[in-house]
Amino acid sequence: HISWAFGPGVEGQKLALEDIVDVKAVQNSYRHGIGIRITHDGWIYSVSGFSAVQLTLKDGSQYRIGTNDQAGLVAALEDKITPGEAPAAEPQVKLRTHNNML
Protein backbone atom coordinates (compact mmCIF):
# COMPACT_ATOMS: atom_id res chain seq x y z
CA HIS A 1 0.00 0.00 0.00
CA ILE A 2 0.91 3.66 -0.18
CA SER A 3 0.08 5.93 2.72
CA TRP A 4 0.63 9.55 3.66
CA ALA A 5 -0.17 11.80 6.61
CA PHE A 6 0.05 15.47 7.56
CA GLY A 7 1.08 15.06 11.19
CA PRO A 8 -0.55 14.55 14.59
CA GLY A 9 -4.29 15.14 14.67
CA VAL A 10 -4.72 15.03 10.89
CA GLU A 11 -6.05 11.81 9.46
CA GLY A 12 -3.87 10.32 6.75
CA GLN A 13 -4.79 8.29 3.71
CA LYS A 14 -3.90 4.75 2.64
CA LEU A 15 -4.40 3.15 -0.79
CA ALA A 16 -3.81 -0.45 -1.85
CA LEU A 17 -1.23 -0.65 -4.65
CA GLU A 18 -3.41 -3.16 -6.51
CA ASP A 19 -6.13 -0.47 -6.79
CA ILE A 20 -3.80 1.96 -8.62
CA VAL A 21 -3.97 1.71 -12.41
CA ASP A 22 -1.97 4.81 -13.41
CA VAL A 23 0.78 6.98 -11.94
CA LYS A 24 2.05 10.20 -13.49
CA ALA A 25 4.00 13.30 -12.58
CA VAL A 26 1.84 16.45 -12.62
CA GLN A 27 2.18 20.11 -11.71
CA ASN A 28 -0.52 21.57 -9.49
CA SER A 29 -1.56 25.17 -10.09
CA TYR A 30 -2.47 27.99 -7.72
CA ARG A 31 -6.13 26.95 -7.96
CA HIS A 32 -5.29 23.60 -6.34
CA GLY A 33 -4.07 25.42 -3.24
CA ILE A 34 -2.20 23.98 -0.28
CA GLY A 35 -3.58 21.40 2.14
CA ILE A 36 -6.21 18.71 1.75
CA ARG A 37 -9.01 19.50 -0.66
CA ILE A 38 -11.30 18.01 -3.27
CA THR A 39 -11.29 19.51 -6.77
CA HIS A 40 -12.51 18.50 -10.21
CA ASP A 41 -9.11 16.73 -10.51
CA GLY A 42 -9.86 14.56 -7.47
CA TRP A 43 -8.33 14.74 -4.00
CA ILE A 44 -5.30 17.02 -3.52
CA TYR A 45 -2.83 16.48 -0.68
CA SER A 46 -0.16 19.20 -0.77
CA VAL A 47 1.97 20.99 1.80
CA SER A 48 4.24 23.12 -0.40
CA GLY A 49 5.23 23.69 -3.99
CA PHE A 50 3.45 22.50 -7.09
CA SER A 51 5.13 19.17 -7.93
CA ALA A 52 2.82 16.22 -7.38
CA VAL A 53 2.13 12.65 -8.39
CA GLN A 54 -1.34 11.79 -9.67
CA LEU A 55 -2.70 8.34 -8.84
CA THR A 56 -5.68 6.98 -10.77
CA LEU A 57 -7.59 4.11 -9.17
CA LYS A 58 -9.59 1.28 -10.74
CA ASP A 59 -12.83 3.08 -9.89
CA GLY A 60 -11.67 6.20 -11.78
CA SER A 61 -11.02 8.33 -8.70
CA GLN A 62 -7.83 10.37 -8.61
CA TYR A 63 -5.46 11.56 -5.92
CA ARG A 64 -2.69 14.15 -6.28
CA ILE A 65 0.05 13.88 -3.70
CA GLY A 66 2.47 16.79 -3.37
CA THR A 67 6.12 15.76 -3.14
CA ASN A 68 9.61 17.21 -3.30
CA ASP A 69 10.84 13.99 -4.98
CA GLN A 70 8.40 13.63 -7.84
CA ALA A 71 10.63 11.45 -10.06
CA GLY A 72 11.56 9.17 -7.15
CA LEU A 73 7.94 8.63 -6.10
CA VAL A 74 6.80 7.95 -9.67
CA ALA A 75 9.64 5.45 -10.19
CA ALA A 76 8.93 3.66 -6.90
CA LEU A 77 5.21 3.36 -7.64
CA GLU A 78 5.63 2.32 -11.28
CA ASP A 79 7.88 -0.47 -10.04
CA LYS A 80 5.11 -1.74 -7.72
CA ILE A 81 1.85 -1.35 -9.66
CA THR A 82 0.33 -3.17 -12.58
CA PRO A 83 -0.89 -0.61 -15.11
CA GLY A 84 -4.50 -0.94 -16.12
CA GLU A 85 -7.39 1.09 -17.35
CA ALA A 86 -9.75 3.21 -15.32
CA PRO A 87 -13.41 2.58 -16.13
CA ALA A 88 -14.71 4.47 -19.14
CA ALA A 89 -17.18 7.27 -18.60
CA GLU A 90 -20.83 6.32 -18.79
CA PRO A 91 -21.99 6.44 -22.42
CA GLN A 92 -24.43 9.19 -23.23
CA VAL A 93 -27.77 8.08 -24.63
CA LYS A 94 -28.95 10.02 -27.67
CA LEU A 95 -32.42 9.89 -29.18
CA ARG A 96 -32.44 9.21 -32.87
CA THR A 97 -35.32 10.41 -34.97
CA HIS A 98 -36.39 9.27 -38.39
CA ASN A 99 -38.29 11.65 -40.63
CA ASN A 100 -38.66 14.06 -37.69
CA MET A 101 -40.79 11.53 -35.81
CA LEU A 102 -40.01 9.90 -32.48
Is 6 part of a structural domain of the chain?
Answer: yes
Q: What dihedral do alpha carbons 61, 65, 70, 72 form, nearest 10°?
A: -80
Residue 22 φ then ψ, to 5°: -155, 140
Is 52 part of a structural domain of the chain?
Answer: yes
Q: Residue 31's domain spans which residues?
A: 2-80
Per-residue pLDDT tens digits for 9-45? 777 789 999 999 999 999 988 777 777 888 877 888 8
pTM: 0.75
Q: Tell me, what CATH number does 6's domain have?
A: 2.30.29
The span from the CA of 65 to the CA of 76, in Å, is: 14
Flag whether pLDDT at 96 surpasses 50: no
Show the beta-strand stretches assigned E in the chain.
2-4, 13-15, 20-27, 35-39, 42-46, 51-57, 62-66
